[in-house]
Structure 1
Amino acid sequence: MNQNKITVTVSRVEQLTPNIKQFEFTAPNDDLGTFTAGSHVSVHMDEVGIRRAYSLTSNPQQADRYSIAVLLDENSRGGSAYMHQRVSEGDTLQLSPAENFFPLVHDDTSKHVLIAGGIGITPFLSYLYELEEKGLDFELHYSFRDGANAAFVEELRERLGDRLFTYDNVKSERLSVGPLIEQLPAESHVYVCGPQPLIDDVIANGNRVLGEARTHFENFGEVASNGDAFEVHFHRSGFSLQVGEGESILQAIEADKRVSIECLCRNGVCGTCETTILEGEADHRDHYLDEDEQAAQETMMICVSRAKGKRLVLDL
């Protein structure tokens, strides 16, 4: 992971809905750099000792400003609450440079189908610039709990016209993922970001109909790590912790505070918390290691994966 930091000014804060704010950042030299569609930045919240990743919603070719949109999560671990309650116009923040774990596939002959749930709309806002610029065949399916609290709906309707399909759950409008994917051309690419049940549904149907190479997903929410309790011993640090039934190794580490480890995605996608296994076997639940790497039992993603037995020894 890029460890550099960019100092930015919060040039604008806009309340998009009762629980979603949009933040615009500029840099002193007016050059944050261009990025690729689907990229994110990490906001360093040094006062509370955390950082969180947010998808960039602005034009990838607009190097003088970045924008993100942040949902105030009722179960916030500190990140969204910090952004909503403590960040104002004129403040100075630090960002990690843009990185991309969710790129648009540059396939000019295929249809690109974007499926968003709630705040999962954010990475697709940067996608639209590249899709439109290249004249690619695409459509956007946007599902939300309540249209009154959904961000960007009206501007997307004006921009996309009949390429936008919305599903307002309050009006009993439901997105049926299976039938949608089944009617797509075989060479289509499908992309999803949103709540875990939606992601799981798209992955299952996308893999079945189109294949894994044409099914793409992103989720920066924390995935539950449930299972039997177990002990994890940190070899280099010289102590052990008990990991509870509904707790991840990462959560146990963060609660204890004696070991520091980076984890960007918290759902087994980005690979930043990959840790070497010295003893024991992991119950792999990530989407980063391939089947052979998981079978080798050499490393694991401690944000989601657990122990198959009662004890693991990790190189931490």
Structure 2
Amino acid sequence: MTAGPAGASRRGVSKLTVRDVRELCNGVRQLVLTHPAGATLPSFVPGSNISIEWAPGRWNSYSLTGPALEPDHYAISVRLDNSGHGGSRWVHELGTGDVVTVNAPVSAFAPVLTARHHILVAGGIGITPILSHVRAALEWDRSFELLYTFRPGSGAHVEELLELCADRISIVHSARALQAALESALSDRPLGSHLYSCGPLPMIEAVQQLARQAGWHGQRVHSETFGVGPLDAGQPFAAKLGRSGMLVPVPSGVSLLEALLSKGIEVPNLCRQGVCGECKLPVRGGSIDHRDLYLTDDDKASGDCIMPCVSRAAGDLVELDL
């Protein structure tokens, strides 16, 4: 899902053992994790993810794809990202019997239980949280359909989904085909339907735009993305800590979060992609170049908080309430 180091204590940390490793498709590896004593693991809400420590203080979050109720294992599917920080490469080097440190499941992408119908849209490895939605819909006999788009040969879990979904899955391999299928779905589904999408940011933005054009209320449209994507290095600036007066320089190409951590200032964080909200900091003064996907438009307009993992000062100085 997303990657990043943590600068504060973790909640619900446990040690799990890699029971099984399998290559799902080109570049995607599935890991099955179990309790070393064979104990049942905590249940989780569909759309949940766990965080795995892949280096001291460095954590990646991955969506859970297996059964959610009193599971005997946690399953994750990880796409190798050669341009990433190294977490996915570490996962792809794990073998059966290895022990990993795991954080308790959390979710911000759960299905709406009162929805009359669920339209699920997945792009590439974005199928991972969507798969848990499919499992829950089948278990609780909820109405749903799945639109899955991926490059030929890169469809993780596709055989499993074809078996699970039968005629409720549509597979497409282009943005144009996805648009056509989604336009049809959005035009005649029952009132009270909800739309969920997970995948690359451009796909999610396209899905949201199509929903708006079709007259869907924003409260019925849900998404989970992998992050903001590549960002420009930005101009250097300084962060003033309002409580001590300390100035922390933030060079071009270095995030505010990294600069604070390098000075020994603990900031809780997880995704480092502007998605999870873990590192949100209060701001006393200064203009902000908001680059995150977490804060609302009202939050950004107020100018009293910043996501330091991706956002920067819009000028030479930002004052934090630290």
TM-score normalised per structure 2: 0.86
Residues 28 and 156, structure 2, Cα contact 8 Å, conserved in 1: yes
1:237, distance to aligned residue in structure 2 (A): 8.6
Per-residue deviation at 1:259? 4.2
3-state SS in 1 of match to 2:177: coil
**Does 2:187 align with 1:179?**
no
Among 222, 226, 230, the residue aligned to 1:224? 230
Q: 2:155 is aligned with what amino acid?
A: A
Tell me, in whole angstroms, the C-alpha distance in 2 between the residues paired with 1:27 and 1:228.
Answer: 44
The 8 Å contact of residues 225 and 248 in structure 1, kept in 2 or not, is answered as: no
Corresponding residue for 1:23? 31
Structure 2's unaligned 5+ residue stretches are 1-8
Q: How many residues align?
A: 308
Runs of 4+ in 1 over 6 A off after TM superposition: none
Say which of 127, 136, 154 aligns to 1:130.
136
1:102 matched to 2:85: no
Q: Which residue of 2 aligns with 1:121?
A: 127
Q: Which has the higher contact order (CA 8 A, sep 6+)?
A: 2
Q: Provide the identity percentage.
A: 34
1:143 aligns with 2:146: no
Query: Is residue 187–residue 210 contact of structure 1 (8 Å, CA) maintained in 2?
Result: no
> Which residue of 176, 188, 210 corresponds with 2:216?
210
Deviations along 1:234-293, one digit per CA (max 9) or x if unpaired, are 42593422343x664345557x57544333233333210101112202233434333433
**C-alpha distance in structure 2 between counterparts of 1:95 and 1:8, whole Å:** 7
Pairing 1:269–2:275 present: yes
Q: Deviations over 1:193-248 (max 9, x none)?
A: 1111101112223344312101111123453344851413242593422343x664
Encode CA deviations 1:128-177: one digit per residue, 9 max, x unaligned: 1211122211111111112x2321111211221111111134xx973116
Counterpart residue number, 1:38: 47
SS state at 1:174 partner: helix
Shift of 1:82: 0.8
Q: Secondary structure of the equivalent of 1:286?
A: coil
| Residues 219 and 265, structure 1, Cα contact 8 Å, conserved in 2 | no
Return the offset for 1:121: 0.2
3-state DSSP class of the match of 2:23? strand
Give the direction of change, closer, same or farther, for the CA distance of 1:167–1:34 in structure 2 (3 Å limit).
same
Inter-CA distance 81–261: structure 2 relative to 1 (3 Å threshold): farther
- Say whether 1:279 aligns with 2:285: yes
Distance in 1 separating the partners of 2:43 and 2:114: 21
TM-aligned CA distance change 1:90 to 1:312, over 3 Å:
same
Aligned: 1:65 with 2:73: yes
